[in-house]
Structure 1
Amino acid sequence: MRKPSRPATVGVGDRVRFAGQVQAVLAVSARAVTLTDEDDSLRDVPLAVLLGDEDFEVLNSPVRPPLPPVSLLDAALPGRAREKALWWEGHVLEVLHGVGPHADGEAGPRPEYDPA
C-alpha cells in the first residue's frame, strides 16, 4: 500500500513511471493526462488513476517552459490530425532542445541535435 503523501505535480514535458513504463506527459487537464511511450502511442489516463497508481513517480521535469496544452488541439483538430501534430511536436522539441520527449532522463542530445 502506498504511503500517504502530498499529491504529485504533473506537467507537460514531465517523464513519469506509470504501470511499469516510463512515459512522457504530452497534455494535462483537470480530468486526464495524455501520455506517450517509446512507440509514440498516445494514451489518455484519468488523473486520479495516474496519481493513484502504486508505481507512479515523476522522474524528471523539463527546465524549459511548457508548450500550450494539447486540449487546444482537441478543440481545433480531428483525432488523426492531432496525433500527427503531436508526433511533429516531439521532433521539433528535439531540434530545439537537443533531446526529444521520449529520451531517457540521463540521455544527452544526439550529436546532430546538440544545441552546443
Structure 2
Amino acid sequence: MGRLIRPDGLAVGERVRFDGQVRLVLAVTGRSVTLSDIGGTPRAVPPALLFANGDFEVVDSSGRMPLPPVSLLETLPQAALERALWWEGHILEVLNGLPPDAEAGTEPKPQYAPSRSL
C-alpha cells in the first residue's frame, strides 16, 4: 500500500484509476465505493483501500454522467433504455439547472434555478 491520497470528494459518475484501470464510480457510501469493471460485475472497495492504492487518482470529475456510455446501455431492452435516458436528462436538469439538450442562452425553470437548494 502507498500513501493515502484522499480526494476532497468522490461522487458517482467520476472516473478513477484503480488497480491499473480507469473505472467509473457507480456508488459511494461511508463503507464502500462501487466501481465499474469492464466485462465483469461492479466491485465494492472500502474507501481506505481505494485511497491507499498506489495508482489511485481521480481521472475525470468534469461532466459527471449518472449513466454509463450509451454503448453499454444498448444491451438493455428498448423501453428500459428510453426510461433510463429520460431519467438521466431529468436528473441532470435538477443538478445543473438545465437539461443536457438545452440551447445556449436558455434560462432554467424557476424550480431548477441554481439559486435554489436541493
Please give the residue correspondences for 1:1-116 in structure 2 after superposition, counting only pairs within 5 Å: 7-8=6-7, 9-64=9-64, 92=84
Q: Give the Cα separation in 2 of the matches to 1:4 and 1:37.
A: 23
Q: Give the Cα separation in 2 of the matches to 1:41 and 1:34.
A: 10
Q: Give the Cα separation in 1 of the matches to 2:62 and 2:39.
A: 21
Secondary structure in structure 1 of the residue aligned to 2:30: coil
Question: Structure 1, residues 54-81: CA drift from partner, whole Å, max 9, x if none?
Answer: 10010112435869xxxxxxxxxxxxxx
Aligned length: 79
Q: Give the Cα separation in 1 of the matches to 2:45 and 2:57.
A: 15
Contact 2:19 2:53 in 1 (8 A): yes
Over the aligned positions, Cα root-mean-square deviation in angstroms equals 3.8
Structure 2 residue ranges without an equivalent (≥5): 68-75, 90-100, 103-118
Structure 1 residue ranges without an equivalent (≥5): 68-83, 98-114
Tell me which residue corresponds to 2:110. Answer: none
Secondary structure in structure 1 of the residue aligned to 2:24: strand
Secondary structure in structure 2 of the residue aligned to 1:23: strand
> What TM-score comes out, normalization by structure 2 length?
0.50
Q: 1:12 to 1:41 in 2, by over 3 A?
A: same
Q: One-letter code of the match for 1:20?
A: G
Of all paired residues, the percent bearing the same amino acid is 44
Contact 2:14 2:62 in 1 (8 A): yes
Q: Give the Cα separation in 2 of the matches to 1:47 and 1:19.
A: 14
Contact 1:17 1:56 in 2 (8 A): yes
Contact 1:13 1:62 in 2 (8 A): no
Q: 1:62 to 1:41 in 2, by over 3 A?
A: farther
Q: 1:48 to 1:62 in 2, by over 3 A?
A: same
> What TM-score comes out, normalization by structure 1 length?
0.51
